[in-house]
């Protein structure tokens, strides 16, 4: 994900789309390149182990290009939202063509297994979350950058406390009391650790 350029801002995207519709090939290429992170994000959801991720990204990119070429601004929808559906459609078409043992693919048909060996069916993959995809990708990118800063400036305990307090490990946020019980220290001490860690992070960001 980090190897792909950041998505365009809403203003940049609108300008690029207008130029693309006017026949500007550079603007079209820009829309493709700046949305590759979106393709990689979606491809990861379809990475069940029997397909190489790079192959999935290549196939998803075909869907992205189709989405960019057929995008209609008058529908009042973000390009990323529309393109995400096109990428998913392309990946699903690939899965259907790979399923040679049956003419039909049903929602509960097995399409592989995850890293823990659990069977995955089509319904698991296409479950849709009503969210701003670009916002989610940008948020993930900021969290990764924040994690690098934290590892650089915080002690091991400060790092663990901040991860738990703000749910940066993907789990629910912990209260100071819960963290205090985990480490066998007072809640006020946890509060001091948290305050010190946040100041360190803030100083790095300000610099």
Fold of the CATH domain 10-111+119-128: Rna Polymerase Sigma Factor; Chain: A (1.10.1740)
Architecture of the 154-206 domain: Orthogonal Bundle (1.10)
Residues linked to residue 110 through DSSP beta bridges, in sequence order: 121
Q: Is the pLDDT of residue 29 over 80?
A: yes
In contact, 98 and 115? CB cutoff 8 Å: no
In contact, 140 and 131? CB cutoff 8 Å: no
- 145-184 pLDDT, tens digit per residue, is 778 888 889 999 999 998 898 887 767 888 999 999 999 9
Domain with CATH 1.10.1740.10 in the chain: 10-111+119-128
What per-residue confidence (pLDDT) applies to 114? 57
Each residue of 172-205: b (16+ CB within 10 Å) or e?
eebebeebbeeeeeeeeebeebbeebeebbeeee
- 34-91 pLDDT, tens digit per residue, is 999 999 988 888 776 667 888 888 999 999 999 999 998 888 888 988 899 899 888 8
Backbone angles phi, psi at 113, to 5 degrees: -140, 155
Domain with CATH 1.10.10.10 in the chain: 154-206
Burial of residue 166 (number of CB atoms within 10 Å: 0-12, 13-18, 19+)? middle
Q: Is the pLDDT of residue 205 over 60?
A: yes
What per-residue confidence (pLDDT) applies to 105? 47
In contact, 14 and 42? CB cutoff 8 Å: no
Query: pTM, whole model, 2 decimals?
Result: 0.50
């Amino acid at each position: 994900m980090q190897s792909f350029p950041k998505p365009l801002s809403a203003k940049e995207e609108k300008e690029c789309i207008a130029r693309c519709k006017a026949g500007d090939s550079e603007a079209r290429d820009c829309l493709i390149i700046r949305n590759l992170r979106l393709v990689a994000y979606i491809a990861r959801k379809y990475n069940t182990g029997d397909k190489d991720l790079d192959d999935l990204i290549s196939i998803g990119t075909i869907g992205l290009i189709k989405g960019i070429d057929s995008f209609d601004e008058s529908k009042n929808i973000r390009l990323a939202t529309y393109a995400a559906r096109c990428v998913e459609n392309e990946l699903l078409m690939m899965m259907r063509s790979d399923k040679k043992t049956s003419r039909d693919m049903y929602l509960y048909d097995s399409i592989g297994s995850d890293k823990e060996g659990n069977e995955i069916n089509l319904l698991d993959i296409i479950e849709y979350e009503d969210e701003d995809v670009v916002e989610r990708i940008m948020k993930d990118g900021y969290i990764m950058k924040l994690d690098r800063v934290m590892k650089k400036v915080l002690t091991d305990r400060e790092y663990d406390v901040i991860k738990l307090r703000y749910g940066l490990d993907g789990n629910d946020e912990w209260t100071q009391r819960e963290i205090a019980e985990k480490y066998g220290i007072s809640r006020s001490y946890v509060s001091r650790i948290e305050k010190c860690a946040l100041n360190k992070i803030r100083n790095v960001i300000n610099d």
